[in-house]
Amino acid sequence: MFDAIAARYDLLNRLMSFGMDAGWRRRAARALALEPGAYVLDLATGTGELAIAIASLDRETVVVGLDPSERMRTLAEAKLERAGLARRVELVSGDAERLPFLAGSFDAVSIGFGLRNLPDRGRALAEMARVTRPGGRVAVLELSEPRDGLLAPLARCYVHTLVPWLGQALSGAREYRYLARSIAAFPPAAELAELMRASGLEVLDVIRLGFGACQLVVATPKRRA
């Protein structure tokens, strides 16, 4: 599915978030609270937007971007070359639910707009906790459907009606109907935080972005006995 929509993925994200998605990624990158020279894993890295935001924080930071979509990784490679970051961001194919890394390998782990696409979110979160060093941070950035507030009905109409139409019109891919369904089905921030706790993470902060259209949950691995 993501191979099919890769070419217009960045453009569609900009249009459908009214340009706010870039700022959300920068917020997630800063929330990792990285020290200079940090080693970071970015899951569902896609076209590399969040990996670039993280690598841009410090000239010594190294990022591993993992994604199963070959077409997405190809676009990310070209983008990294243009940004002069190809030497500090390594792209690999992989499954977020079965990470090929040793425990405590990374100073931080991020995932942007990818958790809702995973069949077993709890397992993926447990893997994030496993590969993050003690005291390191995990940042989960994800779209959500606003459930309260004056703008909630308008936002729900936008997600269910305009997002699929705009996605199909600009990309020619019917897969954007799945996007609307996946956003509606994704748990609200409080439920996500509980799932993260059950998966071995201690939640540090829950941040609502874009009037509740996006959520950022920051955590750290629980201390092991």
pTM, 2 dp: 0.88
What is the C-alpha to C-alpha distance for residues 184 and 186, in angstroms, rounded to an integer? 6
Site of tokens 């994704």: 186
Those residues with Cβ within 8 angstroms of residue 205's Cβ, 6 or more apart along the chain or in another chain:
31, 216, 217, 218
pLDDT in tens, 22-72: 999 999 999 999 999 999 999 999 999 999 999 999 999 999 999 999 999
What is the C-alpha to C-alpha distance for residues 21 and 10, in angstroms, rounded to an integer? 10
| Run of H or E including 13 | helix 9-16
What is the C-alpha to C-alpha distance for residues 202 and 21, in angstroms, rounded to an integer? 26
| pLDDT score of 96 | 96
pLDDT in tens, 124-156: 999 999 999 999 999 999 987 766 666 566 666
Whole-number mean pLDDT of the chain? 86
Residue, of 143 and 6, whose pLDDT is higher: 143
The answer on pLDDT for 196 being more than 80 is yes
Q: Residue 19: phi, psi to the nearest 5?
A: 80, 0
Type of residue numbered 90: E
What is the C-alpha to C-alpha distance for residues 31 and 20, in angstroms, rounded to an integer? 17
Site of tokens 């998605």: 21
The answer on pLDDT for 200 being more than 70 is yes
